[in-house]
Chain A
Amino acid sequence: MLSDLYFMSFRVIASVTSSTHEIKSKTVIFMEKDKIYLQLNQFTKPIPIIVVMKAMGMESDQEVVQMVGRDPRYGDLLYPSIQECAFERIYTQKQALQYMDDKVMYPGAGNQKEGRSKSILRDVFVAHVPVNSGNFRPKCIYTAVMLRRMMDAILNADTFDDKDYVGNKRLELSGQLISLLFEDLFKTMNSNAVELLNKATEKIHSSPLDLSLHIKTDIITNGLERAISTGNWDIKRFRMHRKGVSQVLSRLSYMASLGYMTRITPQFEKTRKTSGPRALQPSQWGMLCPCDTPEGEACGLTKNLALLTHVTTDQEEGPLMNLCYSLGVEDLSHLSGEEIHASYSFLVMFNGLILGKHRQPQRFANAMRMLRRSGKIGEFVSIFVNEKQHCIHIASDGGRVCRPLIIADKGISRVKEHHMKELRDGIRSFDDFLRDGLIEYLDVNEENNALIALYEHEDQDDVQRSSITHIEIEPLTILGVVAGLIPYPHHNQSPRNTYQCAMGKQAMGNVAYNQLFRADSLLYLLVYAQRPLLTTKTIELVGYDKLGAGQNATVAVMSFTGYDIEDAIVMNKSSLDRGFGRCIAMKKYTVTKEKYDGGFSDRIVKPQRGKDGALLKQNMRALDEDGFAAPGQIIRNHDIYVNKQTPKNTNRGSGPPLTDRDYKDSPAVYKGVDGETTVVDRVMLCSDTNDRLIIKCIIRHTRRPEVGDKFSSRHGQKGVCGTIVQQEDFPFSERGICPDLIMNPHGFPSRMTIGKMIELLGGKAGVSSGQFHYGSAFGEPSGNADTVEDISYTLVKHGFSYNGKDLLYSGIVGHPVQSYIFMGPIYYQKLKHMVIDKMHARASGPRVLLTRQPTEGRSRDGGLRLGEMERDCLIAYGASMLIFERLLISSDPYQVQVCRKCGLLGYYNHKLKTSYCSMCKNGENMAKMRMPYACKLLFQELQAMNVVPRLKLTEG
Chain B
Amino acid sequence: MTLNTFHYAGVSAKNVTLGVPRLREIINVAKKIKTPSLSVYLKPEVNKKKELAKNVQCALEYTTLRSVTHATEIWYDPDPLGTIIEEDVEFVRSYYEMPDEDIDPDKISPWLLRIELNREMMVDKKLSMADIAEKINHEFDDDLSCIFNDDNADKLILRVRITNDEAPKGEIQDESAEDDVFLKKIESNMLTEMALRGIPDINKVFIKYGKVNKFEDTDGFKPDNEWMLDTEGVNLLAVMCHEDVDATRTTSNHLIEVIEVLGIEAVRRALLDELRVVISFDGSYVNYRHLAILCDTMTYRGHLMAITRHGINRNDTGPLMRCSFEETVDILLDAAVYAESDYLRGVTENIMLGQLAPIGTGGCALYLNDQMLQQAIELQLPSYVEGLDFGMTPARSPISGTPYHEGMMSPSYLLSPNIRASPITDAQFSPYVGGMAFSPAPSPGPTSPSYNPSSAKYSPSHAYSPSSPRLSPYSQTSPNYSPTSPTYSPTSPSYSQPSPSYSPTSPFTTSGGPSPDYSPTSPNYSPSGSYSPTAPGYSPSSTGQQFSPKDTDKDDENAQ
Give the B-binding residues of A (Cβ under 8 A): 272-273, 275, 871, 875, 877-881, 883-884, 887-888, 893, 930-932, 935, 938, 942, 945-948
Contact = CB atoms under 8 A, between A and B. Distances in A.
Contacts of A875: 347, 357, 359-360
Contact of B354 (A877, A881, A893, A946): A893
Contacts of A945: 332-333
A879 B332 contact: no
A877 B360 contact: yes
Nearest to A884: B356
A930 B354 contact: yes
Contacts of B4: 275
Given A879-B360, A880-B361, A883-B357, A932 B3 contact: no
Contacts of B347: 875
Contacts of A879: 360-361
B121 interface: no
A375 to B, nearest CB: 49
Interface in B1-20: 3-4
A877 B347 CA distance: 13
Given A273-B3, A893-B354, A880 B363 contact: yes
B351 interface: yes
Contact of A880 (B335, B352, B360): B360
A373 B285 CA distance: 63
B117 to A, nearest CB: 20
A881 B359 contact: no
A732 B347 CA distance: 61
Most chain B beta-carbon contacts within 10 A, residue among A888, A893, A948: A888
A377 B425 CA distance: 112
B354 A935 contact: yes
B325 to A, nearest CB: 10
A932 B359 contact: no
Given A946-B336, A947-B333, A948-B336, A935 B359 contact: no
Interface in B343-359: 347, 351-359
Contacts of A931: 353-354
Nearest to A885: B356
B353 A884 contact: no
Interface in B116-148: none
Given A877-B360, A881-B361, A884-B357, A272 B335 contact: no
B362 interface: yes
A887 B360 contact: no
A880 B356 CA distance: 6
Given A272-B3, A884-B356, A931-B353, 6 more contacts: A275-B4, A877-B360, A880-B362, A887-B351, A945-B333, A947-B332
A850 B333 CA distance: 23
Contacts of A893: 354
Contacts of A878: 359-361, 363
A883 B356 CA distance: 8
Contact of B336 (A881, A938, A947): A947
The listed residue with most A CB atoms (<10 A of its CB), out of B333, B354, B360, is B354
A466 B3 CA distance: 47
A879 B333 CA distance: 33
* SS of B interface (majority): helix
Contacts of A932: 352-354
Given A273-B3, A875-B359, A878-B360, A942 B351 contact: no
A254 to B, nearest CB: 38
Contacts of A947: 332-333, 335-336
Q: Give the contact-size bracket for chain B.
A: 20 to 34
Contacts of B362: 880-881, 884
A213 B335 CA distance: 62
B354 A942 contact: no
5 contacts: A272-B3, A875-B360, A880-B363, A932-B354, A947-B332
A276 to B, nearest CB: 11
B336 A887 contact: no
A157 to B, nearest CB: 16
Contacts of B363: 878, 880
B354 A887 contact: yes
B336 A880 contact: no
- Which 5 pairs across A and B sit closest by C-beta, in order of nearness? A878-B360, A880-B362, A947-B336, A888-B354, A880-B361
A793 to B, nearest CB: 47
A883 B352 CA distance: 11
A72 to B, nearest CB: 16
B190 to A, nearest CB: 20
A694 to B, nearest CB: 47
Nearest to B361: A880
Interface in B50-88: none
Contacts of B333: 945, 947
B355 to A, nearest CB: 7
A57 B333 CA distance: 62
B351 A881 contact: no
A880 B363 CA distance: 8
A946 to B, nearest CB: 7
Contacts of B336: 946-948
Best-surrounded residue of B4, B347, B357, B363 (most CB of chain A within 10 A): B357
Nearest to B21: A273
A629 to B, nearest CB: 48
A89 B99 CA distance: 45
A893 B335 CA distance: 26
A880 B357 contact: yes
A932 B333 CA distance: 22
Given A275-B4, A883-B351, A932-B352, A942 B357 contact: no
A43 B335 CA distance: 47
Contacts of A935: 352-354
A638 to B, nearest CB: 37
Contacts of A877: 360
Contacts of B356: 880-881, 884
Contacts of A881: 356, 361-362
Contacts of A887: 351, 354
B545 to A, nearest CB: 25
Contacts of B358: 880
A893 B352 CA distance: 11
Contacts of B352: 932, 935, 938
B73 to A, nearest CB: 15
Nearest to B341: A952
Contacts of B351: 871, 883, 887
Nearest to B329: A945
A878 B361 CA distance: 6
B48 to A, nearest CB: 40
Nearest to A886: B351
Contacts of A942: 332
Contacts of B354: 884, 887-888, 893, 930-932, 935
A938 B332 CA distance: 11
A948 B336 CA distance: 7
B178 to A, nearest CB: 20
Contacts of A871: 351
A588 to B, nearest CB: 44
A890 to B, nearest CB: 12
A930 B353 CA distance: 9
A3 B335 CA distance: 55
A692 B353 CA distance: 53
Interface string B275-310: 000000000000000000000000000000000000
Contacts of B353: 931-932, 935
B362 to A, nearest CB: 3
Interface in B488-508: none
